[in-house]
Structure 1
Amino acid sequence: MANKESSSEPLKCSFCGKSQKQVIKLIAGPGVYICDECIELCTEIIEEEKIDSIENTDEVNLPLPKEINHSLNEFVIGQNDAKKTLAVAVYNHYKRIYKDDTIKDD
């Protein structure tokens, strides 16, 4: 079976033009090649776009402490001070989780 590529011509990345000897890994696609460096660059670009899209979206609609308190009223009778404290704690916990998720994406 004949090889499509000529053996005298080294394989090159279709994006940056570096030869197979200049990079760590060269991955073949249908008629194209991409090196590990271009893959890394593409990954960085995609991650930056993800962060930008997260920053551009409105903040998550967290339930307010009043709404959490209202939900607690459906299940707990009395203990209003405890429900109020718990509602604020849950709200703050949600905020912390959301903030940590956006920081980890960086």
Structure 2
Amino acid sequence: MQSRLSKTLGHTAREARLRAGLTQETVAERLDLTQEVYGRIERGLLLPSVITVRRLSLVLHVSADQLLGIDSSLTHSPSSGRDSPQVRRLIRAVRELSASRLRTLSLLIAHFRRRD
């Protein structure tokens, strides 16, 4: 099972990296890994730690579910396909945020939730 998971994660990471127009070297730097180690992840030879999977999802702008090959239809609510255009635009904008801006947005949301 671990081998299949490693290969799924590696394939998905590679596809996302290519879509983003990034090199292995760039992604490795952003993850604070050597290029050799990141290359082993993409080839499915190394299963990264949970922390690295999370950082990888942020760097490549894909969900951890996608990296792990989890069927998104099992994890999303039935109403997600009926979201308003405003909600879909907001979701797209959030997916494009850098890790630091995403953390800032998360803090703002937590602040407003406490005030309600």
Give the structure with the higher percent strand: 1
Q: Greater helix share, 1 or 2?
A: 2
Shorter-chain TM-score tier: under 0.3
Name which structure has the greater RCO, CA cutoff 8 Å, separation 6+: 2
Report the TM-score when normalising by structure 2. Answer: 0.21
Structure of higher CA gyration radius: 1
TM-score of the pair, normalised by structure 1: 0.22
